[in-house]
Amino acid sequence: MPNVKVKRFAAAAVAAAAFAIPATLPAAAAAQGYPQQNVLPVWPDNPNDASIGIGVIPYDEIAPKLNALQAQSNRVSARVAGKSSGGRDLYEVVVTAPETPAETAQQEAWKQLFQDDPVAARTNEALLANFKPTIFVNSSIHGNEYEGVDAGLRVIEELATSTDPAVEQLLQKTRLVVNVTANPDGRIAGVRPNDAGYDPNRDMATISQPETAVIRQLIVKHQPQFSLDLHGYVNRTLIEPTTPPHNANYEYDLYIKHALPLAIGMEDLIKTLPYPEVQNGVVIPFRDYPNGEWDDWPPIYVPMWAMFHGAIGQTIEAPLNPRGNLAAAERARRVAGNIDVHTAVIKTALKYSQDHRNQLLYDYAEYFRRGWAGEPNVDIPDGFVPGWDAEDNYKTEFPRSYVIPTGPSQRSQAAAKRLVDMLIGSDVRVTKAQAAFTAGGKSYPAGSYIVDMHQPKRGVANMMLEPGMDITDRVNDLYAAPAGWSHGLTWGATVDTLWDENPAVATERVFAGEAPGALPAGNTDLLLDPQDAADLRTLNALGEQGVKVHRLPDGSVLVPASARALAAEQAAANGSTFTSPPASWQGAELDKVVVAYTGSAEPRDVLADLGFEARQVSAATLTTGLTDDVDVLVIGGSLNPTSLNQANRAALDAFLARGGGVVGVGTAGAQFVNNAGLLTATATAAGGIASGVASMVNNGGPIANGAQPHSFILQPVWFSNLGAGAVVEQAYAADPLRAGWWPRTGNSGRGNAAGKASIVSHTTAAGNGVALIGTSVFARLHGKGLYPQLGRAILFAAAPLTDDAASTSEDGTVGGDVPATLGLTLGAPASFGAFTPGLARTYTASTTANVISTAGEAALTVSDPSPTATGHLVNGAFSLAQPLQANGSALPATAKTYAGPVSNDVASIEFTQAIGADEPLRTGSYSKTLTFTLSTTTP
Ligand SMILES: [Zn+2]
């Protein structure tokens, strides 16, 4: 039993916090004043517009109305801000008193001053006298919640045409910005989602849809102090603020002190309206609902997303459902009531912006001041506003900086670019190091990205980059999942957290991420280890151009030297990094891979992002869909082989008989492979709002090699009772919930998922490649880091290899002589950075191990050889209370297992160290020398 041992330190230090002075940027130049008018294109009359039957304004009448208002009034500016997924115009309207170009430039400069120097902003007398707070109204993001559009238009018209001097005065001191119809596709079709099938008001954390990209752009551009999202229908009317849980990255005291009285002011005005349903007041969830029933935890909703930018965000649900079988008079009454309610809400916000102007602007500046100062979450005392108590208090820790490395320690430069672009698009300030530097005990090349958390929108950055927290014990419910979403852990890029250090290196601010792609020198064959959707796009583009490649047992793909020019083109286009191939290899030949899939929008769009030619099939269309060119069937929605009609069953049988591969996702995937007789597997799903970020153990294999140790989950699925020959490439860790909400016990609880399979590969006796994936690769298009796992599963299923699976490796012989080799090289030592006394927190640190093994199976384990406080970090005579964990397990831990030989596999080892709030910490370094062992029982 040969062993290789390497010793390295896992270390941390207790250090003092650093301090830095914020930089300022020059104000953006503005060339135009207001109004900024445009003649909007008019859409053809559409008799099928669902608005007509409801009695609200049809889509095609909106542009003419706005054109007429612009012609009539110099207070109205309209433009097309973007297109819906169905290709329709999205209208941005600004209502304000006319401004000279100089006045507009001054407003823009003040807007910038709030961001750059909030203390200067709130003590600037000219600003305080003349700055125009902005109220952003987002109308009817749910298409069949109609009246927000009509209310927005009514308020625009009233403000545009009123001769009341009070209105003139108001418009001298405010801007109203209206996204007139946030989801025209849904409005016309009379449904909630857009034409692509997505609910845009669950997409703000992901920005996968054009409608949400426009909303994000409007919020970043206008920096509103108020963000009103007009919906329906909750009887009596519902107005936020919400119940807990409250996301800890808001400055919640600054929000609730305005949001609650504002909501009560809205209620007071609504109660005066002539509708019996609203006479007894409205529902304010913060005041009226139990914990968790209507919350602002996930950043998926528009008003919540605006709150991360300092706005007072509120969802408003109009009271009277006008849909269904109603008498015409009753429907008209309800529509009128809803328009009146939404109008009252907007008017109350306008009034509030003037009545509380000084406090509002002071607090708005305070939001950004705290960011620059890097201050911790404020302790908000019980009774801060009526009803505020311990269940409302959520806190997080802000690290000093995040680093998104470039170079060898970045697992995917394409993923890094996507994350950087997401941060920048969300108004986070990102810089690039102009020289190499060392931080947190790790070396970074020039070009690495740094997010200095001393910045005005540190809440936005932290909301995306922090892991999130386990809120299972604090709430029994959420309005909607996910309860965790960390882009830092689940979007495929390596992100390092520096708790107490902002790298000491010259930087420049950047406005886009970069992924230039790379090829090794020389005219050799090329190797691509697909670790991002971008890499699959590269490979699929090569397949499209007729390049034949080979998939190697570890999931990497060899591209022949003859295709070098094409590979270079795709590497540049997609940001893929090719390396040199091993000196000798065996692989399965692949030409262009064609996919058929079941399911709807999400599988369609993930497969498109991966670059596969993919066609949708269903139980009724296998005869026409499973044509001879289809290599792999992806089960993204239910398809039961045992209930197919004869012709479709025959088409499926023929597909399988010619070696077709199957990738099954979730419970539908397991049901299919069971009923098709391909693999026995029991699938169990978590229910309801079980969601967040799961900790995974990667065992390697063609699909899971190089996978991150975290996955996005939304009702995750795990597989057990697996048939013979199934290989578990990835499993849920011993405590599988890193962040989010998931009960511990019960059949669908996380305790039952612990250690169970999440990615399975299997080759049937007949040679079909079969894979199962239980993590949420499709859900809301959010799990970007999971996409390459689906892509690798498809490549595996398209061309399984006999030595992919442990069960078949023992009778395989390798050509040529291979000396028995076990090689182990460790990456940079793991460092937790600084431990902060008095704070309950789980610290993370990671390292990598490069593994070469010619053995039939091998295991990489991490152990603590010390007899002193074995398994715990020590600092002289002091030791930490809780054990050090490696990949989710206390030491000795199995970090990774190999079912077959591997060459240069990079195993990632994540260390976690929990420290309690009341745990005493001694100044100095806590560390342990650990032993990493690569061992085998079948050399
Ligand atoms: Zn809604």
933 compared with 503, residue with greater pLDDT:
503
pLDDT > 70? residue 575:
yes
E-only strand ranges, 705-752: 710-714, 717-720, 727-741
Tens digits of per-residue pLDDT, 462-512?
Answer: 999 999 999 999 999 999 999 999 999 999 999 999 999 999 999 999 999
Ligand 1 centre to CA of 211 (Å) is: 15
Peptide bond into 445 cis (omega under 30): no
Distance 186 CA to ligand 1 centre (A): 11
Q: Identify the band that residue 827 occupies on the pLDDT scale cut at 50, 70 and 90.
A: low
For residues 710 and 733, the answer to whether their CB atoms sit within 8 Å is no
**CA–centroid distance for 36 within its chain:** 35
Q: Cis link prior to 44 (omega < 30° from 0)? A: no
Residue 598: phi, psi to the nearest 5?
-105, 160
Distance 484 CA to ligand 1 centre (A): 22
Q: How far is the CA of 38 from the centre of ligand 1 (A)?
A: 30
pLDDT of residue 11: 35
Nearest of 451, 445, 446 to residue 466 by alpha carbon = 451
Share of residues in the chain with pLDDT > 90 (%): 82
User: What sign does the dihedral 246-480-216-257 (CA atoms) show?
Assistant: negative
Ligand 1 midpoint to CA 194 (Å): 13
The pLDDT of residue 888: 80
Between the CA of 227 and the centroid of ligand 1 the distance, in Å, is 15
CA–CA gap between residue 451 and residue 457 (Å, rounded): 11
Confidence band for 939, pLDDT divided at 50, 70 and 90: low
Residue-wise pLDDT for 654-705, tens only, equals 999 999 999 999 999 999 999 999 999 999 999 999 999 999 999 999 999 9
Distance 199 CA to ligand 1 centre (A): 9
Inform me whether the pLDDT recorded for 931 exceeds 90.
no
The amino acid at 535? D
C-alpha 189 – ligand 1 centre gap (Å): 15
Which residues are paired to 762 by β-bridges?
770
Structure tokens at 276: 């019996």
Give the H/E segment covering residue 904. strand 902-915
415 pLDDT more than 70: yes
The b/e string for 744-770 (b: 16+ C-beta within 10 A; e otherwise) is: eeeebbbebbbbbbbbbbbbbeeebbb
pLDDT tens digits for range 171-207? 999 999 999 999 999 999 999 999 999 999 999 999 9
Query: How many residues are given for the chain?
Result: 939
Given strand 76-83, what is the order of strands in its sheet?
Answer: 76-83, 89-95, 175-179, 134-139, 226-232, 312-318, 238-239
The confidence band for 804, taking pLDDT boundaries of 50, 70 and 90, is low
- Tell me: pLDDT of 406 over 80: yes
How many whole angstroms from 49 Cα to the centroid of ligand 1?
A: 19
Give me Rg for the CA atoms of the chain: 29
CA distances from 155 to 28, 76, 145 (A): 30, 11, 18
Kindly indicate the confidence band of residue 851, based on its pLDDT and cuts at 50, 70 and 90. Answer: confident
Cα–Cα distance, 342 to 147 (Å, whole number):
8
Query: How many contiguous H segments (helices) and E segments (strands) does the chain have?
Result: 26, 43
Cβ neighbours of residue 135 under 8 Å, at least 6 residues apart?
A: 174, 175, 176, 177, 224, 225, 226, 228, 346, 349, 350, 353
In three-state secondary structure terms, 793 is: helix
CA–CA dist 686, 654 (Å, integer) = 35
| One-letter-per-residue 3-state SS of 402-469 | EEECCHHHCCCHHHHHHHHHHHHHCCCCEEEECCCEEECCEEECCCCEEEECCCCCHHHHHHHHCCCC
C-alpha 63/C-alpha 461 separation (Å) is: 37
- How many A from CA of 231 to the centre of ligand 1? 4
Distance 542 CA to ligand 1 centre (A): 43
Q: How many CB atoms lie within 10 A of CB 344?
A: 23
| CA–CA distances in Å: residue 336 to residues 54, 73, 422 | 11, 25, 40
Flag whether pLDDT at 803 surpasses 90.
no
Find the Cα–Cα–Cα–Cα dihedral 7, 10, 13, 19, rounded to 10°.
Answer: 110
CA distances from 51 to 48, 186, 346 (A): 9, 10, 22
**933 CA from centroid of ligand 1 (Å):** 55
pLDDT band at 836 (very low <50, low <70, confident <90, very high): confident
State the chain's mean pLDDT as an integer. 92
Distance 703 CA to ligand 1 centre (A): 39
Q: Residue 65: CB partners within 8 Å, gap ≥ 6?
A: 57, 153, 157
How many angstroms is it from 465 CA to the middle of ligand 1? 28
pLDDT tens for 606-646 read 999 999 999 999 999 999 999 999 999 999 999 999 999 99
| Token pair for 710 | 């975290």
What is d(CA 517, CA 775) in angstroms, rounded to the nearest whole number?
A: 29
Q: From ligand 1's centre to the CA of 912, what distance in Å?
A: 40
For residue 790, give the amino acid letter: L
pLDDT reported for residue 252: 98
Ligand 1 centre from 319 Cα, in Å?
12
- Ligand 1 centroid to Cα of residue 139, in Å, is 10
- What is the pLDDT, as a whole number, of residue 862? 83
Tell me how far the alpha carbon of residue 854 lies from the centroid of ligand 1, in angstroms: 57
Q: What is the mean pLDDT of residues 262-270?
A: 98
Percent of the chain with pLDDT over 70: 93
886-905 pLDDT, tens digit per residue, is 888 888 888 888 777 777 77
Per-residue 3-state assignment (H helix, E strand, C coil) for 185-233: HHHHHCCCCCCCCCCHHHCCCCCCCHHHHHHHHHHHHHCCCEEEEEEEC
Contact 834, 15 (CB under 8 A): yes
Measure 63 CA to ligand 1 centroid, in angstroms: 23
C-alpha 141 to ligand 1 mean position (Å): 7
User: 635 — phi, psi (to 5°)?
Assistant: -95, 100
User: 215 and 290 in contact (C-beta within 8 Å)?
Assistant: no
Ligand 1 mean position, distance from CA 841 (Å): 36
Is the pLDDT assigned to residue 13 strictly greater than 60?
Answer: no
8 A C-beta contact, residue 171 and residue 213: no
Q: How many Å apart are CA 597 and CA 635, to the nearest integer?
A: 6
Q: How far is the CA of 303 from the centre of ligand 1 (A)?
A: 12
Write the pLDDT tens digit of every residue in 27-37.
444 479 999 99
Q: How far is the CA of 616 from the centre of ligand 1 (A)?
A: 29
Strand order, beta sheet including 496-498 = 496-498, 401-404, 449-452, 430-433, 507-510
pLDDT attached to residue 133: 98
The rounded Å distance from CA 290 to ligand 1 centre is 20
What spacing in Å lies between the alpha carbon of 254 and ligand 1's midpoint?
A: 26
Continuous segment of H or E residues that includes residue 499: none
Ligand 1 centroid – CA 296 distance (Å): 14
Residues with Cβ < 8 Å from 327, sequence gap 6 or more? none
Distance 742 CA to ligand 1 centre (A): 26
- Give the confidence band of 813 by pLDDT, cuts at 50, 70, 90: very low
User: Burial of 453 by CB count in 10 Å (0-12 exposed, 13-18 middle, 19+ buried)?
Assistant: buried
Residue linked to tokens 């949001």: 259
* Torsion angles phi and psi, residue 728, rounded to 5: -85, 105
Distance 301 CA to ligand 1 centre (A): 10
What pLDDT, on the 0 to 100 scale, is given for residue 821? 52
Provide the β-strand partners of residue 559.
526
Q: What number is the average pLDDT over the span 322-346? A: 98
Q: In angstroms, what is the span from residue 265 Cα to ligand 1's centroid?
A: 22
Question: Residue 577's beta-bridge partner residues?
Answer: 518
Residue 848 has pLDDT above 80, yes or no: no
Helix (H, G, I), strand (E, B) or coil at 606: helix
**pLDDT tier, 825 (very low <50, low <70, confident <90, very high otherwise):** low
Q: How far from the centroid of its chain's Cα atoms is residue 434's Cα?
A: 29
For residue 290, name the pLDDT band (cuts at 50, 70, 90): very high
Helix axes 357-373, 328-355, angle to 10 degrees: 70
Output the six-digit token pair for 890.
């206390």
Q: Which two tokens stand for residue 483?
A: 């309860």
* C-alpha–C-alpha distance, residues 851 and 255, integer Å: 51
Q: For residues 152 and 164, is the Cβ–Cβ distance under 8 A?
A: no
pLDDT tens string 534-559: 999 999 999 999 999 999 999 999 99
Compute the distance between CA of residue 327 and CA of residue 837 in angstroms, rounded to an integer. 66
For residue 201, report the distance from its CA to the centre of ligand 1, in Å. Answer: 8
CA of 234 to the centre of ligand 1 (A): 10
Predicted confidence (pLDDT) per residue in 98-139, tens digit: 999 999 999 999 999 999 999 999 999 999 999 999 999 999
Pairing assessment for the beta strands 238-239 and 312-318 based on DSSP bridges: antiparallel
In the reported structure, the alpha carbon of residue 917 is separated from the centroid of ligand 1 by a whole-number distance in angstroms of: 40
- Say how many Å lie between the CA of residue 193 and the centre of ligand 1: 10
**pLDDT (0 to 100) of residue 459:** 98
411 pLDDT band, cuts 50/70/90, is very high
Whether the per-residue pLDDT at 83 is higher than 90: the answer is yes
Residues 6 or more apart whose Cβ sits within 8 Å of residue 739: 467, 468, 469, 470, 483, 484, 486, 489, 692, 693
The residue type at 618: S
Q: Specify whether the CB–CB gap between 906 and 850 falls below 8 A.
A: yes
pLDDT at 376 over 90: yes
Q: From ligand 1's centre to the CA of 134, what distance in Å?
A: 23
Neighbouring C-beta atoms of residue 160, cutoff 10 Å: 21
Q: Are 196 and 85 in contact (CB under 8 A)?
A: yes
- Alpha carbon of 357 to ligand 1 centroid (Å): 30
